[in-house]
Amino acid sequence: MIRVLILSLICVVAQAIHADDVLADLSDSLPQGRMPAPNRVVSGGIDSTHMELLRRAGVEHIVSLRPAEETPGFDEAHAAAQHGLVYHSIPIRGAESLTVDNVRKLDRILHEIGDASALLHCSSGNRVGALIALREAWLYGRPVEHAIAVGREWGLTKLEPTVRELLEN
């Protein structure tokens, strides 16, 4: 019985390591791709050509922070569904959309997703990093510098001054 449990545990660990390797390879294939946490890939804008790649890499969820007007002619929700991916959308139009409500929406989605693999994206990863930094501080009480550092790992760049201002006020 113990032997079976040990073998089962070894299989689970091996599968998890393999899944992270596949996702890390995926992040190299996406625009501005990065893997800031286990089962989480962040990228810039994607299009229909990426959907099969995401599916084959084992991505189960897409969290898009792009408003529909950024991708005219591309119905990302429909394309995701066609490939068996669960689609989530929080349209972040810029600094004005960096609100506690939107941070809570992202937090709820990430909690619903749990350990399942997910791609979070906007045009560059900047808005993803901004929401993650705000989440770290506003929802988890992390200090400003820690939140900013985590946000950078997730793609925060040009919105950093705005995020810093929001966190310091």
> In three state form, how does the secondary structure of 107-150 look?
HHHHHHHCCCCEEEECCCCHHHHHHHHHHHHHHCCCCHHHHHHH
Nearby residues of 25 by Cβ (< 8 Å), 6 or more positions away = 57
pTM of model > 0.75: yes
Q: Which residues of the chain have pLDDT under 70?
A: 1-22, 24
Tens digit of pLDDT for each residue in 77-116? 999 999 999 999 999 999 999 999 999 999 999 999 999 9
Q: What pLDDT is attached to residue 160?
A: 98
